[in-house]
């Protein structure tokens, strides 16, 4: 069966646009956002971030988060850090953590992540507020 010239041109154009879209993907196309800004102050405080693909608005699952840091930079106390650990999550694109927050106030959670299919490292900072 022969394909018409117009159909072939259309398929070629579609293929090129898909390749171009993949080539234009960038770490800046992703963002982290808090599920809730206010978190409980103290030991065992839980917080979560969602990783989204900005152009599509879809959550990103399967990212590998590394080099995380939780500190009080929003309150000009970046040297005050809190230990934290990853927890399981059942929601797509949601990454949960538990921390021992030692003071009420603003906490910045800095994250680096490897996203499936993305060559560059995705980085972000999410600000939470620990409340008593």
Give me the DSSP letters along 8-58: HHHHHHHHHHHHHHHHH--GGGEEEEES-SEEE-EEEEEEEEEEEETTTTE
Only one residue has tokens 């409980």, namely 40
Q: Which two tokens stand for residue 14?
A: 């579609």
pTM score, two decimals?
0.79
Pick the CATH number of 27-131 from 3.30.420.10, 3.30.70.260, 1.10.1740.10, 2.60.40.3340: 2.60.40.3340
User: What is the model's pLDDT at position 26?
Assistant: 87
Cα(129)–Cα(103) distance, integer angstroms: 10
In tens digits, the chain (132 residues) has pLDDT values of 555 655 455 545 544 444 444 445 688 999 999 999 999 999 999 999 999 999 999 999 999 999 999 999 999 999 999 999 999 999 999 999 999 999 999 999 999 999 999 999 999 999 999 999
- Please, are residues 65 and 88 in contact by the beta-carbon 8 Å criterion? no
Burial 90-107 (b: 16+ CB within 10 A, else e): eeebebbbebebbeebbb
- CA-wise closest residue to 110 among 92, 84, 76: 84
User: What is the model's pLDDT at position 49?
Assistant: 98
């Amino acid at each position: 069966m022969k394909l018409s010239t117009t159909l072939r041109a259309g398929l070629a154009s579609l293929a090129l646009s898909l390749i171009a879209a993949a080539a234009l993907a960038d770490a800046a196309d992703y963002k982290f956002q808090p599920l809730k800004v206010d978190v409980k102050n103290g030991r065992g405080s839980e917080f979560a971030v969602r990783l989204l693909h900005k152009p599509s608005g879809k959550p990103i699952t399967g990212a590998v988060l590394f080099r995380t840091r939780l500190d009080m930079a929003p309150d000009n106390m970046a040297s005050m850090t809190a230990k934290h650990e990853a927890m399981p999550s059942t929601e797509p694109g949601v990454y949960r953590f538990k921390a021992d927050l030692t003071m009420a106030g603003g906490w910045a959670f800095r994250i680096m992540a490897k996203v499936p299919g993305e060559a560059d490292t995705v980085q972000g900072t999410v600000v939470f507020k620990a409340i008593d």
